[in-house]
């Protein structure tokens, strides 16, 4: 049994790594993750230390230059990985969980409950989420927790739609029906049969949502609503904006790290999509 | 000379990491006025063969070799322009899923007229209407459907329109690819009956692709049975269906109910289609055949004629 | 169709109510007292307090407060900015022109360009063209638009000095007439390209996907078998079927696009609502923020109803239901 499982997972791994976007995405992701975990070790300087030389261009001592306070940009960018990943994962996670619950319940119960929840989803879709986030952050402050919660709360609708569609198609399948006949409870069926079988499109969307959340945080930071207590790439871009024509490296490199990270999760999402929905066999 | 003569047709689907031999050395001839049924389960290569005759296989993902002689022309070598001349005036088809066989955002008349105008450039509104009227009469539909959209019609009505479309220029050969499969049983038999009448009245040659033996029994004079890309048996319907020679045909017939004869348990055929990406040296059916001998696994069986026009590819004699 | 549109209209009305409610609730849930939040000043003077209390019924029960709030919104009163001493609607109407100019131009461009490229990619699936643009779409999606704006500014304005860095007009030149229009166009190039790059990937992808799907439909096989040239099948049938999802996409991406436009305006100091937004954030002028949010909600839902009508009219399956 376990040997068979090992063979199976080895095969799946081989197939996954055969998908170019997934392979590139995973390699990049591991590098980014390592940078986040090992930040204090691999960063050449303390990201908050004022090292004297202000706005120094990239050099041997400072590969990416220094900022307007004389802090080492490379070290700041490496440490910034942490906040980006935390925000990305938590916000996408919240949005995923809400999406699963609302979508599965709506799709499985059907009838009036379904209509009501679909209605709620449509309404949420029509509100300009970014501006809502902006107002909440402006009123409640831009702490990292607030950002995570608000971004999660405003991006769950796509997940809910996906989960609902999956649930509706799973609801009438034989294994779900037989579980019902066998007398399993509704919630148990939802948890054990429906959600695990319908979650794949959500996994793909959630991966893309990680990028979305990272970009959203960057946007908030850029208009000055970020958490002042953390090192965030968006804030570094904002700091560099005033020196764009003289010290271009500040905005350039911090922005590039946002692009790279967001791109990584888009690649993984695209790759997972191909991995989980294999091309339909040609008709013969 | 036969109207359609398929000789040693091979069709391969080229995929990234493997190739699938969808039609393997298929030879078949269709005489003028024939109504031949091509039967087999899904994946047997019957639709591929039909699409190949119509020249509709994607060029970049398929490789075709052999000959398909139609009215003396080799369709395998025919260019896109060559097909453009043949298609619809001498060769037409009705396809599978009825609901999507017309564009959902265009009226029926626009779609009918457009096809008509491709072949009769500059035909005016009146000519188009006259043509459409005559065709709809043939398939027992009222003129009013012309101004409707497909979603306002039933599956049966849409399939009738598809049949009307393929009769537009009285073609020499019509290919019906699972034309009635998606319909309910009553509509299906109704349409099949009308189709037989039309065919008998006009003498059109018909090739019916189906997985349903009952359709073949009801509306085809000849039958060709395909399995895993190979032709395994062909002959007059009356003979093949009553005394099937090939074990696969026997199995296929045993899995359909009959109203006559002794009460018998319905039997399926155990096992599934072999993997067609590898070379199969022997008989493709050997792995599922209840009578398979050693030879069946090693040598490819040859089509042998038992009676004029009745052939099968099996090493074992009749049982 | 009337029923469908009525239903959509009803949904939109509820969506607007929801936005109003959120706005109403947030002020009361936020730390600090609602009066100073609405006034935008730490210690508002007694006159202000009295005016605000009366206008929003702050001394009355919460239900009554909401009713009065709704009444104000439907009367077109979105609040008063004590910071600028002007009604919010006046502030916004001064800025809405440049924003519309920027956003509608880029919306049109991105739909045209995205669809054109998407159609080409679908027809040439798996070729270099398709792969290049499909990958580019992902990279563009991963780019924070404000950063893209900064980089383009760095390259084309600061370094190459080809285009103006910021603003909508060259104030010092004082152009009039045709020269003025030309000047505005010149100022528009960078911000418009940025917002177009931002919105284009969505249209590219949906156009490509829906064209690919339409090309695989059975009717395409039928028309091809019937001898219709590939080009005619594509132009007369695939196109009309494939374009429907794009219409839906416009409505769904509207809110997202507006956010991109706001950020780009901030980068290029474009005198539109994005700037107003940033100023209000910096000045903690909550009345303006909430006004912008409400007006955007209403405009977006109105646009959605309009697009629904267009869609219903284009798709006979809805038009004739």
Per-residue pLDDT tens digits for B128-166: 888 888 888 888 889 888 889 988 888 888 888 888 888
**Residue A282 binned pLDDT confidence (cut-offs 50, 70, 90):** very low
Q: How far is the alpha carbon of A6 from chain C, nearest alpha carbon, in Å?
A: 34
SS3 track for B144-202: HHHHCCHHHCCHHHHHHHHHHHHCCCCCCEEEEECCCCCCCHHHHHHHHHHHHHHHHHH
Residue ranges of the alpha helices (H) in chain C? 2-29, 34-39, 46-56, 62-74, 88-123, 128-142, 145-152, 177-215, 218-225, 230-233, 239-267, 273-283, 286-314, 316-319
- B276 CB neighbours in chain A (<8 A) are 284
Q: What is the pLDDT of residues A95-134, one digit of tens each?
A: 999 999 999 999 888 889 899 999 889 888 888 888 888 8
Comparing alpha-carbon positions, the chain C residue that sits nearest to A125 is C252
| CB < 8 Å & 24+ apart, contacts of C118-123 | C118/C203, C118/C204, C118/C205, C118/C206, C118/C207, C118/C208, C118/C211, C119/C207, C119/C208, C119/C211, C119/C239, C119/C242, C121/C204, C121/C208, C122/C207, C122/C208, C122/C209, C122/C211, C122/C212, C122/C215, C122/C242, C123/C211, C123/C215, C123/C234
Contacts with C282 (C-beta within 8 Å, 6 or more apart), sequence order? A224
Q: What is the mean pLDDT of residues C233-256?
A: 88
Q: Any CB–CB contact under 8 A between A118 and chain C?
A: no
Q: What is the DSSP letter of B7?
A: E
Return the H-helix or E-strand segment holding A141.
none
| Residue-level pLDDT at B99 | 65
Inter-chain CB proximity A282 and B61 less than 8 Å: yes
- E strand or H helix at B88: none
**Predicted interface score ipTM higher than 0.95:** no
Quote the CATH superfamily of domain B4-90+171-312: P-loop containing nucleotide triphosphate hydrolases (3.40.50.300)
pLDDT score, position B260:
57
The answer to the question of residue C143 being in a domain is yes
In chain B, which residue's Cα lies nearest the Cα of C124?
A: B60
Among C219, C229, C320, the residue with its CB nearest the CB of B103 is C219
**Interface mutation target, options A24, A139, A264, chain C, most CBs of C under 10 Å:** A139
What's the confidence (pLDDT) of residue B318?
A: 57
Number of domains in chain C: 1
C81 within some domain: no
Question: Minimum mean pLDDT among A97-111, B172-186, C284-298: which range?
Answer: B172-186
Task: Report whether A75 contacts A43 (CB < 8 A).
Answer: yes
What does the pLDDT look like over B185-244, one tens digit per residue? 788 888 888 888 888 888 888 888 888 888 888 888 888 888 888 888 888 888 888 888
Contact (CB, 8 A) for C276 and C269: no
Chain B contacts of A284, Cβ < 8 Å? 13, 20, 22, 42-45, 47-48, 229, 276
CA C132/CA C126 separation, integer angstroms: 10
Predicted local distance difference test score (pLDDT) of residue A35: 93
**Residue C249 covered by a domain:** yes
How confident is the model over B27-34, as a mean pLDDT? 85
Query: What backbone torsions phi and psi does residue B222 show, to the nearest 5 degrees?
Result: -120, 160
8 A C-beta contact, residue C274 and residue C100: no
Listed range (A32-46, A183-197, B102-116, C191-205) with the worst mean pLDDT: A183-197
A23 to chain C, closest Cα gap in Å:
15
pLDDT tens digits for A48-93?
A: 888 777 888 888 888 888 888 888 889 999 999 999 999 999 999 9
CB B114 within 8 A of CB C228: yes
Domain containing residue C223: CATH number: 1.10.3720.10
Q: Which residues of chain B lie closer than 8 angstroms to C218, CB-CB?
A: 95-97, 100-101
In a domain, C167, yes or no: yes
Size of interface A-B (CB pairs under 8 A): 17
The confidence score (pLDDT) of residue A280 equals 40
Residues with Cβ within 8 Å of B60's Cβ and at least 6 positions away in sequence, in order, are none
**Taking CB atoms and an 8 Å limit, are B95 and C218 in contact across chains?**
yes
Structure-model confidence comparison of residues B213 and A238, the more confident one: A238
Closest residue, chain A, to C268 (C-alpha): A241
CB contact under 8 A, C218 and B97: yes
CA–CA distance, B218 with B195 (Å, rounded to integer): 11
Tens-place pLDDT, residues A201-226: 899 999 999 999 999 999 999 988 88
Confidence of residue B19 (pLDDT cuts 50, 70, 90): confident
Minimum Cα–Cα distance from A279: chain B residue: B15
Residue C70 predicted with pLDDT over 60 = yes
The verdict on residue C106 lying in a domain is yes
Per-residue pLDDT band for A4 (boundaries 50, 70, 90) equals confident
Cα(B5)–Cα(C306) distance, rounded to whole angstroms? 58
| Strand residue runs (E) in chain A | none
Distance from CA of A11 to the nearest CA of C (A): 26
Alpha carbons within 13 angstroms on the beta-carbon side of residue C210 total: 22
Q: Tell me which chain C residues have a C-beta less than 8 angstroms from the C-beta of A123.
A: 11, 14-15, 18
Q: What is the DSSP letter of B143?
A: G
Host H or E run for residue B67 = strand B62-70
- Please name which of C28, C90, C73 lies closest in space to residue C294, comparing C-alpha atoms: C73
Q: What is the mean pLDDT of residues C125-134?
A: 90
Q: Taking CB atoms and an 8 Å cutoff, what residues of chain A touch B44?
A: 284
Which residues from A are below 8 Å from B when comparing CB atoms? 282-284
CB count, 10 Å around CB of A280? Answer: 6
| Domain-embedded: residue C300 | no
Over pLDDT 90: what percentage of chain C? 24
DSSP states along B200-251: HHHT-EEEEEES-HHHHHHH-SEEEEEETTEEEEEEEHHHHHHS--SHHHHH
- Name the CA dihedral angle for A219, A225, A227, A232, rounded to a multiple of 10 degrees: 30
**Predicted confidence band at A283 (pLDDT cuts at 50, 70, 90)?**
very low
The answer to whether residue C191 sits within a structural domain is yes
Contact B9, B52 (CB under 8 A): yes
Contact A252, A57 (CB under 8 A): no
Distance from the C63 Cα atom to the nearest Cα atom in chain B, whole angstroms? 48
For A193, residues 6+ apart whose C-beta sits below 8 A from its C-beta are A170, A175, A176, A179
Contact C226 B104 (CB under 8 A): no
Question: Residue C216 sits in which domain range?
Answer: 92-282
Hey, are the CB atoms on B47 and A282 less than 8 Å from each other? no
The rounded mean pLDDT for chain C is: 86
Here the tokens at position C133 are: 């643009």
- Give the distance from residue B232's alpha carbon to the nearest chain C alpha carbon, in angstroms: 28
Contact B88 C237 (CB under 8 A): no
Cross-chain residue pair C144–A139, CB shorter than 8 Å? no
**Closest chain B residue by Cα to residue A280:** B15
Residue pair B146/B93 in contact by the 8 Å Cβ criterion? no
Closest CB to C219 among B84, B93, B102: B102
pLDDT of residue B263: 54
What part of A 210-249 touches C (C-beta under 8 Å)? 211, 215, 218-219, 222-225, 234, 237, 240-241, 244-245, 248
B73-74 and B62-70 as β-strands: parallel, antiparallel, unpaired?
antiparallel
Round the CA-based radius of gyration of chain B to a whole number and report it: 20
The string of pLDDT tens digits covering residues C16-58 is 888 888 888 888 888 877 777 777 777 778 877 888 787 777 7
C65 assigned to some structural domain: no
Name subunits touching A (3+ CB pairs < 8 A): B, C
Indicate whether B78 pLDDT > 70.
Answer: yes
Domain ranges for chain B, please list them: 4-90+171-312
Please give the Cα distance from B210 to B213 (Å, whole number): 8
pLDDT of residue A265: 95
- Residue found under tokens 């001998």: B293
CB C81 within 8 A of CB C285: yes
Which of A102-111, C70-79, C159-168 is predicted least confidently? C159-168
């Amino acid at each position: 049994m376990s040997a068979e499982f090992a063979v199976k997972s080895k095969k799946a791994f081989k197939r996954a790594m055969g998908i170019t976007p997934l392979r590139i995405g995973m390699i990049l992701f591991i590098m980014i993750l390592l940078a986040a975990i090992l930040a204090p070790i691999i960063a050449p300087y303390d990201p908050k230390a004022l090292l004297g030389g202000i706005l120094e261009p990239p050099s041997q001592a400072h590969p990416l230059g220094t900022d307007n306070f004389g802090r080492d940009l490379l070290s700041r960018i490496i440490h910034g990985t942490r906040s980006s990943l935390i925000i990305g994962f938590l916000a996408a996670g919240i949005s995923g969980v809400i999406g699963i619950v609302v979508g599965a319940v709506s799709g499985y119960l059907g009838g009036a409950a379904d209509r009501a929840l679909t209605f709620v989803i449509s309404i949420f879709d029509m509100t300009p989420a970014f501006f809502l986030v902006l107002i909440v952050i402006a009123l409640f402050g831009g702490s990292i927790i607030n950002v995570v919660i608000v971004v999660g709360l405003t991006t769950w609708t796509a997940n809910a739609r996906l989960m609902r569609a999956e649930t509706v198609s799973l609801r009438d399948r034989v294994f779900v029906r037989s579980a019902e006949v066998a007398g399993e409870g509704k919630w148990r069926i939802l948890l054990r049969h429906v959600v695990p079988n319908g979650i794949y499109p959500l996994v793909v969307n959630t991966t893309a949502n990680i990028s979305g959340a990272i970009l959203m945080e960057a946007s908030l930071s850029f208009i000055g609503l970020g958490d002042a207590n953390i090192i965030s790439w968006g804030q570094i871009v904002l700091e560099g904006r005033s020196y764009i024509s003289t010290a271009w490296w500040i905005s350039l490199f911090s922005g590039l790290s946002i692009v790279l990270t967001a791109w990584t999760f888009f690649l993984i999402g695209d790759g997972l999509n191909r991995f989980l929905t294999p091309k339909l066999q040609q008709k013969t | 000379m036969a109207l359609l003569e398929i000789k040693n047709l091979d069709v391969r689907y080229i995929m990234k990491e493997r190739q699938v031999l969808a039609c393997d050395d298929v030879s078949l001839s269709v005489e003028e006025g024939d109504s031949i049924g091509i039967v087999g389960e899904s994946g047997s290569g019957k639709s591929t063969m039909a699409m190949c005759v119509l020249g509709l296989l994607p060029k970049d993902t398929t490789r075709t070799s052999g000959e398909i002689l139609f009215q003396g022309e080799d369709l395998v070598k025919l260019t896109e322009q060559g097909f453009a001349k043949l298609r619809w005036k001498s060769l037409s088809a009705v396809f599978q899923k009825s609901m999507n066989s017309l564009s959902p955002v265009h009226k029926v008349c626009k779609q009918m007229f457009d096809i008509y105008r491709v072949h009769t450039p500059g035909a005016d509104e009146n000519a188009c209407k006259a043509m459409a009227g005559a065709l709809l009469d043939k398939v027992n539909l009222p003129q009013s459907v012309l101004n409707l959209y497909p979603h306002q019609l039933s599956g049966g009505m849409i399939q009738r329109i598809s049949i009307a479309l393929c009769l537009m220029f009285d073609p020499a050969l019509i290919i019906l690819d699972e034309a009635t499969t998606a319909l309910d049983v009553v509509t299906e038999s109704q349409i099949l009956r009308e189709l037989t009448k039309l065919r008998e009245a006009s003498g059109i040659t018909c090739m019916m692709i189906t997985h349903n033996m009952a359709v073949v029994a009801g509306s085809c004079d000849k039958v060709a049975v395909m399995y895993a890309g190979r032709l395994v048996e062909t002959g007059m319907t009356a003979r093949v269906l009553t005394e099937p020679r090939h074990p696969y045909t026997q199995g296929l017939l045993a899995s359909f109910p009959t109203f006559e004869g002794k009460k018998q348990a319905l039997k399926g055929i155990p096992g599934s289609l072999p993997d067609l990406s590898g070379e199969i040296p022997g008989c493709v059916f050997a792995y599922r055949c209840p009578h398979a001998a050693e030879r069946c696994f090693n040598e490819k069986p040859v089509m042998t004629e038992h009676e004029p026009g009745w052939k099968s590819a099996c090493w074992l004699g009749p049982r | 169709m009337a029923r469908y549109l009525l239903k959509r209209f009803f949904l939109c009305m509820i969506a607007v109510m929801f936005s109003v409610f959120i706005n109403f609730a947030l002020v009361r849930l936020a730390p600090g007292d609602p009066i100073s939040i609405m006034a935008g000043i730490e210690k508002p003077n007694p006159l202000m307090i009295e005016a605000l209390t009366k206008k929003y019924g702050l001394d009355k029960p919460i239900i009554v407060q909401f009713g009065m709030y709704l009444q104000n919104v439907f009367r077109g009163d979105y609040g008063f900015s004590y910071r600028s001493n002007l009604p919010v609607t006046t502030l916004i109407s001064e800025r809405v022109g440049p924003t519309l100019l920027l956003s509608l131009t880029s919306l049109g461009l991105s739909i045209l360009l995205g669809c054109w490229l998407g159609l080409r990619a679908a027809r040439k699936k798996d070729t270099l063209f398709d792969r290049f643009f499909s990958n580019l779409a992902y990279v563009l999606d991963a780019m924070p638009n404000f950063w893209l704006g900064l980089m383009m500014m760095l390259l084309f304005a600061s370094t190459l000095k080809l285009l103006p860095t910021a603003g909508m007009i060259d104030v010092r030149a004082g152009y009039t007439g045709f020269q003025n229009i030309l000047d505005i166009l010149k100022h528009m190039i960078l911000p418009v390209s940025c917002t177009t790059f931002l919105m284009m990937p969505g249209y590219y992808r949906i156009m490509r996907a829906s064209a690919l799907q339409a090309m695989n439909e059975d009717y395409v096989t039928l028309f091809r078998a019937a001898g219709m040239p590939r080009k005619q099948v594509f132009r007369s049938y695939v196109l009309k079927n494939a374009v429907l999802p794009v219409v839906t996409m416009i409505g769904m991406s509207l809110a997202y696009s507006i956010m991109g436009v706001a950020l780009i305006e901030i980068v290029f100091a474009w005198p539109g609502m994005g700037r107003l937004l940033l100023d209000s954030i910096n000045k903690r002028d909550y009345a303006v923020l909430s006004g912008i949010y409400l007006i955007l909600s209403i405009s977006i839902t109105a646009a959605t109803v309009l697009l629904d009508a267009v869609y219903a009219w284009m798709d006979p399956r809805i038009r004739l239901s």
